[in-house]
Structure 1
């Protein structure tokens, strides 16, 4: 017989030593001294930063020790609002990669990398990283990559991705990447929008103990990107000698690509000096409500927008994660999905779907216990209007639970971008559910 999960009061697990002189303490003291104001704690510094944000960022620029070739003439035009997209640190010139690679001690570890199927943790020092980035950058320049060009990776988040990204950034090229888990359509939905000149990819990956060949997908991706000048294949699982890349246009192995940048002397890193607002990365929205949208990140500005996870029944706004934290503590439940449903008047009610754990069955008794647990832990207005069983819950291929797509389906709409789901067949479980009719 299952027991209700015990809801415990939150306990502090760690707090910083107030006597320790942290970087935040040092920065707070520097600001207080520069402006002659008392800033006794973090909260007072925070409040000052909100009220005097231009001064705050000017002080942070000084405190952080950024490397730059030209100082800004203005931090920001405070007469402009967010909608006007004001320019930060106008007139400045710097390079993102230069700042990441400037560590004084060559022997300090810059990267630790783990790879499935290999027990060894690979370590890369700052000296080694700088040498590799210099090789990548020299080869990129040799093939004609210049400021503003797009360089992309279809590869895992590992050492090669970091090296290629930093090399692109050193030139002023714009980096973008997708996981090898993505299918051909998912990759082309993203990369075809930005017309890359160069792509890096692995030949295979290991997932859950099984090797997945990547070359067939890569071949199809390359065919869909007509602006590509070079395809660099990284032997990731197998040795170079056992990999056939003859069917992939303009392809070359990483070793041979890097060799084109070598001369009589090891190449030296050159850092293009760029405006603070120069594009650095291109990332993408999830693609659950249409084609993935590009999100450009500059050397210091990050713009993200949030669509999933917010519920607002009867004017009570809360996140679906609050429900998941309670529901998934029940041993009978292996997974859950919480979404809103709207009627023709725009009123909202919350629907909770439960995927049952092995050897457990959905029951009215379980529904009542879950409702009571939510009511006790949150409030009566957090309790879902309906709790229903489902056989599957949709996830994107990068492991994100998808609420927006289910919200669309129960509203009678179609989800077009099915290629971004790891289990697209589960979407059909939410069509025309009898209990949801007539709302």
Structure 2
């Protein structure tokens, strides 16, 4: 077995929520389990008993208990969890009522705002009352075109507290990106701000908002908050001053709403467990984004992941670098159900310096620190070390968005802190959660995700649909789970839903990840299945090549695709060099030799070419499929889903790709 990078101390194991859960099962369920693997196997063999235990252990707030825990359907999507129950999503996030900080906001400019649990409940009650006065009823869509600020959290909780459905985009999506999402779901109310800030520049939303309102006639009211001051306006009884070019029709001020409805008691509309709470979106890189409707089950799965897998406890502080256009925002906000403090940040994670997030960690004493894998790899490339900063509070580091390379694992332990749990986590917007993630009582091995999620019946299947270990294959989930989509919007017969996950295996969720399960229970995700390479008919994941490329300091970024060529597939590697460097033949030969010797001859690219930029989605995921389509002359149908769509121009009509 490989040498582990970290292992929890006996004290840490004993004080973990997971061990407390073991004891709960023994005392309340007469269930004696010796190891985490014993627990995991039980959780998927007895899914009803498992999810009932999570309901009880998490102390779900409800007004009517369920008739039964789990009702199996005729297929995967027909299954029901907790039928008969009555509860409210927001009520379960707002259980804490005291003056302890619920939200701490930090801006690029060093600004700081705090909201206590008591204040949060008060603000949510005020906004909820306003929404009801405006005719919002259960099932109506309320949306946010918002930065990652406290007002966004307040707006979501207010909407879901009255049974409305929440959906959000971040301001950097652009007009078409917003219309492609909100335009499909026809919202009644839009929350937004006067502006947002990025890299020290204030960016107005006025022009974009005018176009959005002209294109979505269902929007009856726009509620605007002040980005710079926010709830400070409420406390000082002042109003937002809008730019002159800002829309004037049906505009209402967030701060005024708080003043007018101050002191409104919180009321929570009681819903069924399968009542819709969120509408989430696929990336939209191959067409209009799919609109995935998710219910209250999102909360109970988030609680399991946060409390048991991340070991988050009441009173602790959690941070995730995200926008409200990425599912990690929804995941982060569920930390309120634990009684923790959410630390929010809006802006660029490298501005004004690479230290900014670590300064926040040090100053706010963050315990669980989450970022994208690309953030870690960018700091590794620059050889950044958070010197002279107190990182003693960090217990767990979370990484997601793409596979974290083995060198990324080493970099964190060598340069950040040795005693921490580095949890690479992987799942998707589709389930608003994780299939595979961390574990506070198990070791961390280089390049591996620690375990499969409890209650998630995950296996790796080969091409014969057989479960395999120590072999690469498709990541599948064999049984339903509470956070799976209720349905896709405007998909009455479920055709889009079934096409997304059940085309390969009719009653098994095929997630589209190319992965490997290790003998020790850990996993390696090599990338998306549709981005795997297939030279000579042998499937190859891209993460091994990416990991090796990251070790070359002169290479800023890369993308790997499989080009259809002469009735086969050949590997093409595109490189973006750091400023002042050009791709020379000596580097090409070194790369080919290193890939051949350290990975395999089959992984060696047929072509290695320099490009000016690498395309990414708005959520910072590489888009190999868009690159492949571009080089093959096929249309990329929804470039607005990309953060840098113009970069695809560099991949058109490349002469070297028309030659052997």
Q: Same fold (TM over 0.5)?
A: yes
Q: Does 1:426 align with 2:418?
A: no
Residue 37 to residue 80, structure 1, CA distance change in 2 (3 Å): farther
The structure showing larger relative contact order (alpha-carbon pairs under 8 Å, at least 6 residues apart) is 2
How far 1:242 sits from its partner (Å)? 5.4
Aligned to 1:184: 175
For the 8 Å contact 2:533–2:561, the answer to whether it is kept is: no
Within 2, Cα distance between the matches of 1:85 and 1:158? 37
How far 1:350 sits from its partner (Å)? 2.4
For the 8 Å contact 1:29–1:39, the answer to whether it is kept is: no
Within 2, Cα distance between the matches of 1:90 and 1:48? 22
| Matching residue within 106, 119, 122 for 1:114 | 106
Q: Secondary structure at the match of 2:172?
A: coil
Aligned to 1:412: 633
**TM-score, normalising length: structure 2:** 0.60
Matches within 5 A, 1:56-135: 56-78=50-72, 80-82=74-76, 84-104=77-97, 106-117=98-109, 119-135=110-126
Q: Secondary structure at the match of 1:140?
A: helix
Aligned to 1:436: 657
Q: Does 1:24 align with 2:246?
A: no
| Matching residue within 34, 46, 54 for 2:48 | 54
Q: Does 1:248 align with 2:248?
A: yes
Give the number of equivalent residue pairs.
424
Within 2, Cα distance between the matches of 1:68 and 1:168? 18
How far does the alpha carbon of each residue in 1:163-205 deviate from its partner, in whole angstroms, 9 at most, with x for none?
Answer: 0000011011011111111211111111000000000111111
| Matching residue within 287, 293, 297 for 2:284 | 287
Matches within 5 A, 1:157-176: 157-176=148-167
How far does the alpha carbon of each residue in 1:19-57 deviate from its partner, in whole angstroms, 9 at most, with x for none?
Answer: 514221122233345554431011110011121111111
Q: Does 1:230 align with 2:221?
A: yes
| Matching residue within 163, 167, 189 for 1:198 | 189
Aligned Cα root-mean-square deviation (Å): 2.4
Within 2, Cα distance between the matches of 1:409 and 1:145? 44
Within 2, Cα distance between the matches of 1:388 and 1:195? 44
Q: Does 1:221 align with 2:212?
A: yes
How far does the alpha carbon of each residue in 1:145-167 deviate from its partner, in whole angstroms, 9 at most, with x for none?
Answer: 11000001111021010000000
Aligned to 2:390: none
Q: Secondary structure at the match of 2:71?
A: coil
How far 1:15 sits from its partner (Å)? 2.3
How far 1:323 sits from its partner (Å)? 2.3
Aligned to 2:558: 336
For the 8 Å contact 1:139–1:259, the answer to whether it is kept is: no
Residue 256 to residue 361, structure 1, CA distance change in 2 (3 Å): same
| Matching residue within 573, 597, 604 for 1:383 | 604
The worse-fitting range, judged by mean Cα deviation, of 383-392 and 228-237 is 383-392
**TM-score, normalising length: structure 1:** 0.89
How far 1:379 sits from its partner (Å)? 3.0
Residue 315 to residue 48, structure 1, CA distance change in 2 (3 Å): farther
For the 8 Å contact 2:207–2:245, the answer to whether it is kept is: no
How far does the alpha carbon of each residue in 1:261-281 deviate from its partner, in whole angstroms, 9 at most, with x for none?
Answer: 45xxx1111111111111111
Aligned to 1:320: 542
Within 2, Cα distance between the matches of 1:358 and 1:410? 25
Within 2, Cα distance between the matches of 1:271 and 1:245? 38
How far 1:245 sits from its partner (Å)? 6.7
Q: Secondary structure at the match of 2:279?
A: strand
Q: Secondary structure at the match of 2:590?
A: helix
Within 2, Cα distance between the matches of 1:113 and 1:246? 25
How far does the alpha carbon of each residue in 1:71-117 deviate from its partner, in whole angstroms, 9 at most, with x for none?
Answer: 111222236442x331111111111110110015x121111211222
Aligned to 1:403: 624
Within 2, Cα distance between the matches of 1:159 and 1:435? 51
Within 1, Cα distance between the matches of 2:28 and 2:278? 34
For the 8 Å contact 1:283–1:294, the answer to whether it is kept is: yes
Q: Secondary structure at the match of 2:574?
A: strand
For the 8 Å contact 1:111–1:159, the answer to whether it is kept is: yes
How far 1:254 sits from its partner (Å)? 1.6
The worse-fitting range, judged by mean Cα deviation, of 288-297 and 230-239 is 230-239
How far 1:293 sits from its partner (Å)? 1.3
For the 8 Å contact 1:94–1:274, the answer to whether it is kept is: yes
Within 2, Cα distance between the matches of 1:429 and 1:422? 15
Residue 405 to residue 215, structure 1, CA distance change in 2 (3 Å): same
* Structure with larger Rg: 1
For the 8 Å contact 1:136–1:261, the answer to whether it is kept is: yes
Q: Secondary structure at the match of 2:191?
A: strand
Q: Secondary structure at the match of 2:294?
A: strand
How far 1:59 sits from its partner (Å)? 1.4
- Gapped regions of structure 2 (runs ≥ 5): 230-238, 299-428, 432-510, 514-526
| Matching residue within 255, 274, 281 for 1:277 | 274
Within 2, Cα distance between the matches of 1:16 and 1:340? 45
